[in-house]
Structure 1
Amino acid sequence: MTYKTILVHIDDSRHSEARIAFALDFALKHDAHIIGLYVVCQDLFRPLLKRDDSLNLAKLEAQGAERMQRARQAFTAAAKRAGCPFEWSAPAGSATDAAVLHARHADLIILGQQDPDDQASFVARDFVEDIVMNCGRPVIVLPYAGQTPSFGENVVVAWDGSREAARALADALPILKRARFVTVSVVEKHPNRDDPAGFDAAGYLERHGIRAGFQSIPRVSGVSTGATLLNQVTDVHADLLVMGAYGHMRATEHVLGGVTRALLGTMTVPVLMSH
């Protein structure tokens, strides 16, 4: 697998510029084409308007058009400086539906974790979660807190033998092949069993030319799997966590599992997720 089309989400938040810079650097390393997808919350201020307040509505729409133009100019300038082939898209309609549709025509999606202190980072309820669960592509989510001075050099792969974990492992191969250190981590309910699941995953990577270590982490009573994985990431100074995104169906929509939702809420390093 190779990454030849990278889709990066662009909005009006204070983290958008850093996300673009990350995506451009990633695209250049993988000789990829980048698409800047501008989707923002369309209804952030509408509840404040009266039904007949068409003048203020027109003003808000004009301000929105100005913000989009500034975002386009910033993205275009950054892509040209980087020398990366690019295109811009700002589709109308539902932000989530548009993002999912465009994501299906890319190899990898780059999103940002919602920042609770930045109103402009809110696009739609469960925006990141819905894209992860429905786009059918690997997604890298960047944390809003802190910096990402390195990426993909020291990687922890969360493994439990599930379909989602297998998908994430395969989707991450181009990154893992460039990594200096890869650790396959298994949070074990019964760590003393004879055949830890992660050995086979490490063997799979070995046949792809990726030397991976293996670590079995005993499950501690009262500590969630998500917290255990994040502790492991911190302990080995990893700069990327690769994991399957787990969920279940509720009526007609996908709902995230507890571990996936917890990690998206408390992540400290970039996370590559596949469902």
Structure 2
Amino acid sequence: MAYITCDNLTYSYPLSEEPVLNDLSFEAQKGEFIGIVGQNGSGKTTFCHALRGFAPLFYKGEFSGQITLAEKKIHEMKRLSDIADLVGYVFQNPFTQMSGIEETVFQEMAFGLENLGLPKEKIINNVTRTLTDLGLTSIQDKHPLYLSGGQQQKVALGSVLAMNPEILIADEPTSQLDPAATKEIFSLLKENQKNGKTIFLVEHKIDLLYEYATRILIIHEGKIVVDDKPEIAFLDDRLAMFGVEMPNILALGQLLKETYSLDFLPTKQQEIEEVLLFYRDRK
């Protein structure tokens, strides 16, 4: 039995004439790292909202179909808090995720844990570990609202990671981070996935998704139009139509295949290096 299922999911926001999600079906197993890509307005964020229960429990609107998370049915829930300990959500804009009442980064990251009623010692341990993982110990006493955008993104992510959810949904959590910090976040998410967490990551950074994700969903006009391993999904002939770019590794692999008439397509960094070394040594 699948860990997560969406069956014939259709959703329209209030006052909207057209559905944002259109008869979408999907299954996932525990421990997957799922990258979600597509054009702006394709339904990526709404799909994530539906997985967390925000649509329709918070955003209302017209909802049909069924979502099941670890045998819990979203449409039967009355409160978002019913799955707060199961699903963590990192919003695209970190400012909207701040509590607005805590005065230090440490307190901000402890806020959700306190709402879950966890023991004080566990809260301190979880927050301390997460601060270290994210490299935020030097700013743990600073006010969260006075941080840079990139620092706020890390705090927002840390506030969710500290709660140790089984399912983590993150909507472009690295948009304000530099390349080095972005790579650190991807590595941290990968570590969580290897430890059994299920990751859903909306991102435009295709090369990193290709490197870290175990599965890619391409959403177009409210439907999942591609669902496969990264090395297969990003070779789909319709990528341009869906507004998705091919990862640089695959593009280079295709170029090498055509240039040297290879009988295989290099899809990994190591394979590309081996091809280049082979033909360099033949000169």
> What TM-score bracket applies, with the shorter chain setting the length?
under 0.3
Higher relative contact order (CA 8 A, sep 6+): 2
TM-score where L is the length of structure 2: 0.27
TM-score where L is the length of structure 1: 0.28
